[in-house]
A = this chain, B = another copy of it.
């Protein structure tokens, strides 16, 4: 097979160990932890061409390329990252990591707690978006990156990009905040709580210590993912793809799969419950719930975002109802009120919230154009 000139090709995850204690927003302290990460492209001489990719709820460090030549799937944002792609690895040094609390190699609930010799399980502390940004900054230090050319993320990843500009205003030149929100609404929290309750009440959850019981709360995780999927897709997109299409062509009047949409959702739920750690899922949803940078400013988002020095690209998608364009506009308005530099794009797409992972042409053009300018700024 001819190698794809636009792929980063074969990549190998790396692990960084940290033994300086990290105190979290909750007050808990992690004495030691590790972060697993991947890099693509070359860091230039003055370390000015680095881009950090922040992942969303179920993402991880494997953002682009393949681990093995026969891997069926590439990294989760491979369509956006590679030589000649919008996040162009022939110009940028791109870093993806698995966040603290994850289940793909970074320290998380399924890791061994050195104090007990057992998996952390339910005792792993809740981790917030600012905590992640602190941990990511230590990884940046380790890599010799004083300042990111850009921090980029969609959804929960966008919240991290935004938080970077507040926690470390001098360490990020551009923040790309895509399909995100300045905080969850009651409805957003409600969906998260149904997902959490599905996991927490699964008899196989065992209070979070299912590892010791040799079980996995698969039923709960499956339901959580099925529900999540509904919020990732648009009503129209789901209608166009599945509509009322029947699995067997006629009503069977029973509780087995009747409609194609049921088959799709159950398949997605089953697949997810095979590999994702339930405690990590809980933790990720809590990070979403707690994110609210305006909170420390009496709810004044403009005052909060006044701390930022970065330039912003905020992007939303027309059919995204999880984090609708109105939510992105809240960020944009606050940035304008705070006299920050911001570009905003509301992109036509049928893909709902998932659009941030897709390749709708206007989205790809936008990313390419914006990052082309970022590259020029740093001489890359």
Interface residues of A, Cβ cutoff 8 Å to B: 25-28, 122, 125-126, 128, 183-187, 189-191, 193-194, 196-198, 200-203, 219, 222-223, 226-227, 229-230, 233, 235, 238-239, 241-244, 251, 253-255, 258-259, 261-262, 265-266, 269, 282, 286, 289-290, 292
Number of copies: 2
Question: Chain B residue with minimal CB distance to A251?
Answer: B290
Contact: A126 with B239, CB < 8 Å?
no
Q: Which of B185, B194, B222, B259 contacts A189 (CB 8 A)?
A: B259
The answer for the CA separation of A122 and B255 in the assembled complex, in Å, is 9
Which of B122, B193, B262, B269 lies in contact with A262, CB distance below 8 A? B193
- CB of B184 within 8 A of CB of A197, answer no
B194 touches A227 (CB 8 A): yes
Q: Identify which of B191, B197, B235 contacts A230 (C-beta below 8 A).
A: B191
Q: Of B194, B238, B292, which one neighbours A185 at CB under 8 angstroms?
A: B238
Q: Would you list the 3 A-B pairs with minimal beta carbon distance, nearest first?
A: A26-B253, A126-B253, A186-B238
CB atoms of B196 and A238 under 8 A apart:
no
A187 to B253, CA, bound (A): 20
- Given A126-B253, A189-B262, A238-B185, A223–B194 Cβ distance below 8 Å? yes
Q: Which residues of B contact A194 (CB under 8 A)?
A: 223, 226-227, 230, 265
Beyond A191-B230, A194-B230, A197-B226, whether A183 also contacts B253 by CB under 8 A is no
- Contact, CB under 8 Å: A219 / B201: yes
Give which listed residue, B186, B200, B230, contacts A243 with CB less than 8 A: B186
Is B197 touching A241 in the complex (CB atoms < 8 A)?
no
Asked, given contacts A194-B223, A219-B201, A223-B201, whether A255 binds B189 with beta carbons under 8 Å apart, the answer is no
The answer to whether B184 touches A198, judged by C-beta atoms less than 8 angstroms apart, is no
B residues within 8 A CB of A226?
A: 190, 193-194, 197
A28 to B282, CA, bound (A): 44
Please, how many angstroms separate the alpha-carbon atoms of A266 and B194 in the complex? 9
Complex Cα distance, B252 from A125, in Å, reads: 11
**A187 CA to B230 CA in the complex, in Å?**
7
The answer to whether B244 and A187 touch across the interface, beta carbons within 8 angstroms, is no
Q: How far is the CB of A146 from chain B (nearest CB, A)?
A: 31
Bound-state CA distance A26–B290 (Å) is 48
Query: Nearest CB to that of A253 among chain B residues?
Result: B26
Answer whether A244 and B196 are a contact pair too, CB < 8 Å, given A189-B259, A261-B189: no
In the bound complex, do residue A200 and residue B255 qualify as a contact, i.e. CB atoms below 8 Å apart?
yes
CB-CB < 8 A to A255: which residues of B?
122, 196, 200, 282, 286
- On whether the beta carbons of B187 and A238 are closer than 8 Å, the reply is yes
